[in-house]
Amino acid sequence: MVKLAGDLRVIDADTHFTEPPDLWTKRAPAEYKERVLHIEEIDGQPTWVVDGAQLGFARGGGVVDRDGEKAPFVESLVWGHDRVHPGAYDPKVRLAVLDECGIHAQVLFPSAIGLGGQSVNTVVKDPALRLLCVEIYNDAMAELQEESGMRFLPQPVMPAWDIDACVREAQRVARLGLRGVNMTSDPQDLGTPDLANPAWDPFWEVCADLNLPVHFHIGSSNTAMDFYGNYFWPSQHEYVKPAIGGSMLFINNARVVINTVFAGIFDRFPKLTMVSVESGIGWIPFILETMDYELWENAPKQAAELSKMPSEYFKEHWYATFWFERNQGDVQGLIDKVGEDRVLFETDFPHPTCLYPAPLEFMAEKMNTLRPETRRKVMGENAARLYRL
């Protein structure tokens, strides 16, 4: 195990937790136990079911198998809980993975319910049941955080079909001690206004006031996942398609950054913080330049209404996660352009592109090219500040 610094707590800002089969059933009131998310055997396959609707095959949610070997994404699509590494769903095993990899804490995002909670929000028709499923998931994540001694930092999903419900749930998860919220990038898919609409101001206000960073994971909406599926040519090899779709999902988060800035959200809520999760950072310097040029070129009146140049908002309000990029050997130059205070380290365990089994060894060469203060910030200090550790 590589030691970056004797007293540095390495914090992994993007990993995934595969929901255990009984996550909802063991917490649901008796009258809801058969309606909340649970696994049934359908056509010989374990399948997530909620209120009679099928969410699909109960995948293991990772590309790392029980023996610690990685497989191509397409091959992992047929893995259930019996094939995937138990660290995907077993907290005790996951803690052992952290110790093995030299990581102090991990931020966790969901699997079966959608990266932004969009699957359960879309499929469940009964609003009361839908809210119960969200609340149970968030309660389970608060338990997980507490039982881990703050080594797991799960991000709770929001009931994005209802703005007032989002406000109440953000307040509730803050009381539970959770350290942020996980938001879909496209609530208009669920029937609420898009996030540029001032109708969302009460939600931004509570997140800013309660110091809850708003996380936008790639693929966090039906719209984003459509984006994933539309950018490879149909004749590409089945193993190549996820490589193209995944790459485009990284860049798709630029859409979220641009929209939040141009909507003037940060002028109205100067304490609000957001995180672009699992998106890399190489695209950010270019996007910041395009934001300044395009808004003044095409909408000078609206540009003048902002209190700053569009690019300036990123270093004050956004964070982004970084893991595999090398930037032709000039990682320090790339981080300086993004802002060394706004970059977080991630491994993406156990998903495709994850750095398992030796993330710190993978990062060592790049990290050794950085200024010591930059290295400390990226590998842990920025996340410790953001999540109040």
C-alpha to C-alpha distance for 168 and 172, rounded to whole angstroms = 6
Nearest CA to 252 out of 351, 363, 156, 116 is that of: 116
CB of 84 within 8 A of CB of 18?
Answer: yes
pLDDT at residue 151 is higher than 60: yes
Higher pLDDT, 105 or 244: 105
Largest CA distance in the chain: 60
Q: What is the dihedral of CA 237, 277, 127, 227, to 10 degrees?
A: -30
pLDDT at residue 3 is higher than 80: no
pLDDT one-digit tens code per residue, 11-34: 999 999 999 999 999 999 999 999
pLDDT one-digit tens code per residue, 49-73: 999 999 899 999 999 999 999 999 9
11-19+87-386: what CATH class?
Answer: alpha beta
Higher pLDDT, 248 or 110: 110
Average pLDDT over every residue of 364-381: 96
The band of 1, judged by pLDDT with boundaries at 50, 70 and 90, is very low
pLDDT one-digit tens code per residue, 64-100: 999 999 999 999 999 999 999 999 999 999 999 999 9
Domain ranges of the chain: 11-19+87-386
pLDDT of residue 332: 96
CB of 32 within 8 A of CB of 132?
Answer: yes
pLDDT of residue 119: 85
Residues 63, 72, 11, 166, CA torsion sign: negative
For the entire predicted model, the pTM comes to 0.95
Average pLDDT of the residues of the chain: 94
Helix (H, G, I), strand (E, B) or coil at 111: coil
C-alpha to C-alpha distance for 357 and 351, rounded to whole angstroms = 12
Nearest CA to 56 out of 83, 74, 36, 77 is that of: 77
Average pLDDT over every residue of 225-244: 87
The band of 6, judged by pLDDT with boundaries at 50, 70 and 90, is low
